[in-house]
Amino acid sequence: MPHYDLAILGTGSGNTIIRSEMKDWKIAVVEPWTFGGTCLNRGCIPSKMFVHAADVAHTAETGHLYDVQSNVIDVHWEAIRDRVFGRIDPIAESGRSFRANAENVDVYDQPAVFVGDHKIKSGDHEFTADRIVISVGSTPTMIDIPGIDGLDIDTSDTIMRLEKKPESLIIIGGGAIATEMGHIFNAYGTKVSMVQRSNRLLSREDVEVGTLITKLFHERGIDMHCGVNTTSIRKENGLFHLELDDGQTVTGERVLMVVGRTPNTLNMHCELTGVELDQFGKVKVNDYMEASAPNIWALGDCANRDLDLKHVANAHARTIANNLIHPDDKQPVWLPNTPRSTFSQPEVSSVGITEQEANEQGLDVIVHTQKYGNAAYGWALEDTTSFVKVVVDRSTRKLLGAHIIGPQASLLLQILVMGMTFDLTVDDIARKQIWPHPALSEVIEQCLLEV
């Protein structure tokens, strides 16, 4: 039976753990799906390529706001899809080839399950390893709706590879992925309906932010059904029919379900190697990303800490790599002020706590909202809705949270992330640097000066 110094289960961020210091290690890599993980193949990267094309289409449709006569003549779905995956698929294949051809690495292509203490089975192969990193990621969650069995429901894994653009699409869910897909398909000319339990999109974001983007989606012509549940689903004559608990029926050519993700650890029999899972099936880890069993680590979507985001998984992987190479100088994972972004139209980006969370915690805070339209570049954008919102500790003058909805939100937010990370007061951020005029970043300066 083969024995390895290190086994890495999953090739998303886990693939980055292998370093030059490990050139003399014998390493097993297990990847039953496409090399590169969700972000590269089914998530962040392809979706943003689709988003940019949607942004271009949306800009063309709104040219009249700037006295420019423009409109979208057509959106060539197949060409967009093939351009996106024509770039991505070779990267995934070359990643697998690179690892498979490395002298000290063996690649296994069947799902990993534990069959004993530090003993792994992949298909017909069994092996042991001194050190194991569990980085198997997650898959889209499917909720059990009466009538759903046997229906061809799409998920984020499949929706971007459709053979043709649907004329109509029902999206079940209202989180970041659902919101991005709503923007994409609406901009491409698909009739979009969105069905969700919450009374607004992006319910984990600040209430003002979620309320505004829901309103803007409705104004774009998206058929919004908020605060409802789907009681049944059926397919007749090529169309899906969703019955909602408010008595309405929603009809569409395809259904996309994006209601969360489930860690891929649930069927791995982690208990056979002493690894404990939490109630959601995620591996319990400490600050060093160590699992409950010795010499086993976990990261990303299948680890029970931090946000399920690619940049978080990358930070996990850097920590684990360091601690594998330097076991006598272990470092805890460092994730201060993790930003999160939704690349819809408009963009949404945030860090820290919301106004609602500050109130729930009984904190003494200053909350201020600054409209894009108050800045000169906001005039150029003819922007009447976008805003920056900050939550500031009244006594320390430090930022506790920031929330932006509008163009370039993810870029603008980083100014505030840096201020929080380097423990600056809002006064220092606003006054101890020169802000370029009339850049859009002036809205951040104005917001902090108002505080």
Over residues 322-338, the pLDDT tens digits come to: 999 999 999 999 999 99
Tell me whether residue 169 is in a domain: yes
DSSP string, 176-235: HHHHHHHHHHHHTT-EEEEEESSSSSSTTS-HHHHHHHHHHHHHTT-EEEES--EEEEEE
Among 208, 209, 160, 158, residue whose Cα is nearest residue 185: 160
Same domain for 220 and 278, yes or no, is no
| Residues 133 and 6: beta-carbon distance below 8 Å | yes
Query: Which residue, 236, 259, 282, sits at the end of a domain?
Result: 259
Residue showing tokens 């753990």: 17
What is the number of domains present in the chain?
3
Identify the pLDDT of residue 377.
97
**What is the model's pLDDT at position 306?**
84
Q: Is 437 a catalytic residue?
A: yes
Residues 92 and 174 in one domain: no
Q: Which domain holds residue 67?
A: 3-139+262-325
| b/e sequence 60-79, b meaning 16+ C-beta within 10 Å | ebeeeeeeeeeeeeebebee
Low pLDDT (below 70) residues in the chain: none
Residue 333, in any domain of the structure: no
Tell me, what's the pLDDT at 83? 98
Which pair of structure tokens corresponds to residue 343? 């690349």
Give pLDDT, residue 305.
86
Cα–Cα distances in angstroms (integers) from residue 127 to residues 29, 68, 81, 102, 122, in the given order: 11, 64, 39, 19, 8
DSSP conformational letter for 265: T
Residues 293 and 380 in one domain: no
User: Could you tell me the CATH number of the domain that includes residue 127?
Assistant: 3.50.50.60
Domain final residue pick, 325, 356, 372 = 325
Give the CATH number of the domain where residue 374 resides.
Answer: 3.30.390.30
Listed residues 259, 291, 309: the one ending a domain: 259
State the Cα–Cα distance between residues 245 and 240, nearest whole angstrom. 16
Would you say residue 339 lies in a domain?
Answer: no
Q: Are residues 250 and 271 in the same domain?
A: no
| Together in a domain, 390 and 426 | yes
pLDDT in the model for residue 177: 97
In this structure, the answer to whether residues 444 and 354 fall within a common structural domain is yes
Domain match, 294 and 269 both = yes
Q: Same domain for 131 and 270?
A: yes
Report the first-to-last Cα separation within the chain, whole angstroms.
Answer: 65
Asked whether residue 427 is assigned to any structural domain, the reply reads yes
Decide if 39 is inside a domain. Answer: yes
Do 405 and 416 share a domain, yes or no?
yes
Are 132 and 12 within one domain?
yes
Q: Which of 3, 64, 326, 437 is catalytic?
A: 437
- Alpha-carbon span 243 to 230, nearest angstrom: 6
Q: Is residue 149 part of a domain?
A: no
Q: Indicate whether 165 belongs to any domain.
A: yes
Same domain, 266 and 254: no
Q: DSSP labels for 86-134?
A: HHHHHHHHHHHHHHHTSTTEEEE-S-EEEEETTEEEETTEEEEEEEEEE
Q: Are residues 443 and 354 in the same domain?
A: yes
Nearest residue to 144 (alpha-carbon basis) of 208, 63, 232, 70: 232
Cα gap 281→295, rounded to integer Å: 20
In a domain, 340, yes or no: no
